[in-house]
Amino acid sequence: MKKNRKSLILIALLLVTAMVLAACSQPTSSTNNEKDGVKESITIAVTGPLSGDYAQYGEAFRKGTALKVKEINANGGIDGKEVKILLMDDKNDPKEAANVAQRLVEDKRVVGVVGHFSSTASLATAPIYQKAGLVEFSPTASHPDFTKQGTYMFRNINTQAIEGPIVADMVVNKMQGKKIAVIYINNDWGITAKDNFTNAAKELGAEIVAEETFIGGQTKDFTPTLTKINEKKPDVLFLAAFYSETGMIAQQMKQLGYNIPMAGLSSLFNEELIKLAGDAVEGLYLSTNFFPGDTNPLVQDFITNFKVEYNSEPDQFAAVAYDTMGMMIEAIQTAGTDRAAIRDALAQMKDYPGVTGNTTFNENRDVVKSLKVLQIRDGKFTVVE
């Protein structure tokens, strides 16, 4: 009887041991294996300002990248693996962006990063991504020094060294701006945008009669600045700023009774500008890489799908984020999920057919894209020939 009992106990122990060993041998991550019908997945991080004064830009990033991922997954993902987005809010603050970057490089699921939004945030995070060997692919960081921070930095927008002179030509020759006043945001991007614009304007024979700056997210009253500028009697006011501050500047200038034509950069191409400022921004000129009126079938398909998904029309920031995610995915399709191999595949990419134009990286991982000139007419962004 005792022997039987001992035998039963021994058999039970052997069964438990076998079960434990079997469990330990099973895959533990759905990222690399298929288990219980769950597909393998590939994670790409998307980061930008999802809260605060610049949240509209982060929301455009979210919508553009999510639409591209939805389309890819609907067609089988990447080699049968589902693409997932890890969405992170950097608040457009360099310290918070650095914290986000540190978390992303330590997350082994993340194979690449689409972000950050501003040049300031992108420059702050670049050393972290470079040290870890993780691609930082910014849709919008236009500071010329961004891609100089390391070999893992890519951008999908013209640098200010390209955009600034084009806008300067528009201001001087189209708007007849011989005397120009400038208001710029006091950060890496704003200073660089201002310098590239003013240098080009001077070469074209214009005089810069005033240069005034402000702190992003803090300055709300522009009355003293506008009063000083109005005294200089400029032909044009150039704004190196984002839509929230530009809306306030335009409204306050109207309240003061100043009638100074305005011009800005692609940072202003956002419907929120018109919603915020109304007819105060009527007549404003700006540049852009993307315009919904483009008859290119790629552009029109994107707009149609975007409207179906979000019941709104995409702006330049949603479009360039959509393209950036598409390029990241194409690199993964080519190279697999190794972080270094993805970097190499991106660097070698040529003529990617995007909704913001065909894209090829130069030796510095920068792009050159054609720009359109827009003007706000009757409350709408309109192409200027």
State yes or no: pLDDT of 239 exceeds 60.
yes
Task: Render pLDDT for 139-158 as a digit per residue (tens, 0 to 9).
Answer: 999 999 999 999 999 999 99
What residue type is 344 in one-letter code?
A: D
Q: Which CATH number is 198's domain given? A: 3.40.50.2300
> Residue 1 has what pLDDT?
47
State yes or no: pLDDT of 323 exceeds 60.
yes
> Please, how many CA atoms are within 13 Å of residue 307, restricted to the half-sphere of its CB?
8
29 vs 355, higher pLDDT: 355
Give the range of the structural domain holding residue 79, as residue numbers without chain letter: 41-157+295-359
Q: Is residue 253 part of a domain?
A: yes
Pick the last residue of a domain from 288, 318, 345.
288
Q: At 8, which helix (H) or strand (E)?
A: helix 2-25
Residues 306 and 266 in one domain: no
Burial class (CB in 10 A: 0-12, 13-18, 19+), 221: exposed
Q: Is residue 342 part of a domain?
A: yes
Task: Render pLDDT for 369-379 as a digit per residue (tens, 0 to 9).
Answer: 888 899 999 99
210-236 average pLDDT score: 95
With 0.75 as the threshold, say if the pTM is over it: yes
Cα distance between residue 321 and residue 61, in whole Å: 5
Strands, E, within 146-203: which ranges?
Answer: 153-155, 179-185
Q: Is residue 22 part of a domain?
A: no
Pick the last residue of a domain from 260, 288, 316.
288
Residues 136 and 174 in one domain: no
Task: Render pLDDT for 53-65 as a digit per residue (tens, 0 to 9).
Answer: 899 999 999 999 9
Closest CA to 302 of 105, 67, 37: 67
Confidence at 218, pLDDT banded by 50, 70, 90:
confident
Strands, E, within the chain: which ranges?
Answer: 41-48, 82-89, 110-114, 136-138, 153-155, 179-185, 207-214, 236-240, 262-264, 285-288, 352-354, 357-359, 372-377, 380-383
Task: Render pLDDT for 309-318 as a digit per residue (tens, 0 to 9).
Answer: 999 999 999 9
Task: Render pLDDT for 276-310 as a digit per residue (tens, 0 to 9).
Answer: 999 999 999 999 989 988 889 999 999 999 999 99
**Vertex 378, ends 170 and 265: CA angle to 5°?**
30
State yes or no: pLDDT of 351 exceeds 70.
yes
State yes or no: pLDDT of 5 exceeds 60.
no
Q: Is residue 310 part of a domain?
A: yes
Residue 250 and residue 276 in contact, taking contact as beta carbons nearer than 8 Å: no
pLDDT above 90 coverage of the chain, percent: 83
Local structure of 211: helix, strand or coil? strand
356 vs 3, higher pLDDT: 356
Q: Cα-Cα-Cα-Cα dihedral of 255, 256, 262, 268, to 10°?
A: -40
Residues 259 and 201 in one domain: yes
How many domains, the chain? 2
Residues 190 and 203 in one domain: yes
Q: Is residue 379 part of a domain?
A: no
Residues 277 and 352 in one domain: no
> Residue 39 has what pLDDT?
54
Residues 52 and 112 in one domain: yes
